[in-house]
Amino acid sequence: MSDYQTALSTYDAESVTVRDRDLTSEIMGELDFGSTTYLLLKGTPPRDGEGRLVNAMLASLMVHGVTPHALAARLTYLAEPESIQGAVASGLLGVGTRYVGAMQECAAVLQAAGSEPDRESAVRAIVSEYAERGDPFPGIGHPFHKPVDPRAERLFALAEEEGLAGDHVALVRDVQSAFEERTGKELPVNVTGAIAAVCSDIDLPPEAARGLAVISRATGLVAEVIEEQSRPIAADVWHRTQERMTYSGDR
């Protein structure tokens, strides 16, 4: 009566199997968590250097000063301190298209460009599509990190070092140059664009690129919630917001 299939995991009384590895003897104690994540999301273990890149990508988006996600999680924790998972989920719901989650669309565009005859035409096609719609290209531009996003540069350097920087890294850099030329603005490849390109070069699908952001930010949100216990800010943010607020209803 089996008609569902999974390739993720199974278990019996004595063992748990994850992606055809014995969890306790082949993963726990043997693989770092970046490599484990690659194995789980991709189905095959990382080749040389790929695990290191995933570890770096997971580290890159955890925290970034005060963020809307961190504030939402801390406010929810203030209101419901019994549920760490609720506070983390509250903050994760903001890992959307506007901030931390832009790598999914970027990776989808970069991966689709493989159907173009060469990189130059791919760049032209991408630029004209976004310019026509008047939309910003996801993965380039940053309000604070200029002229470069140091996290993106580090990811690119690591990919070079490991010999894993391929067509997608090259493409996102050319797309960036084309947009900078067109607009006359500084538009660095940001960390989400770099993650999109690097994930594409190590064969992770766009959803997995967004998934790394979700895991990374979940980790940061756990830290925010724990820090809220010893260095609370949520109640004060709430009260200051109240003080600034005027009720202006009129009948």
What residues numbered 153-192 form the site for its own copies, per CB under 8 A? 153-155, 158, 161
Is there binding between residue 238 and its own copies (CB under 8 A)?
Answer: yes
Is there binding between residue 134 and its own copies (CB under 8 A)?
Answer: no
117: preceding bond cis by omega (within 30 degrees): no
Residues touching its own copies: how many (CB under 8 A)? 126
| Distance (Å, whole) CA 114 – CA 207 | 18
Tokens of 108: 């989808």
Q: Which is nearer to its own copies, 155 or 178 (by Cβ)? A: 155
| Distance (Å, whole) CA 137 – CA 131 | 9
Is there binding between residue 131 and its own copies (CB under 8 A)?
Answer: no
Is there binding between residue 223 and its own copies (CB under 8 A)?
Answer: yes
Restricting to residues 95-124, which ones interact with its own copies according to CB under 8 A?
Answer: 95-101, 104
Is there binding between residue 150 and its own copies (CB under 8 A)?
Answer: yes
| Distance (Å, whole) CA 207 – CA 164 | 20
Q: Which residues contact 132 (CB under 8 A, 6 or more apart)?
A: none
Is there binding between residue 241 and its own copies (CB under 8 A)?
Answer: yes
Is there binding between residue 33 and its own copies (CB under 8 A)?
Answer: yes
| Distance (Å, whole) CA 251 – CA 245 | 19
Q: Which is nearer to its own copies, 87 or 172 (by Cβ)? A: 87
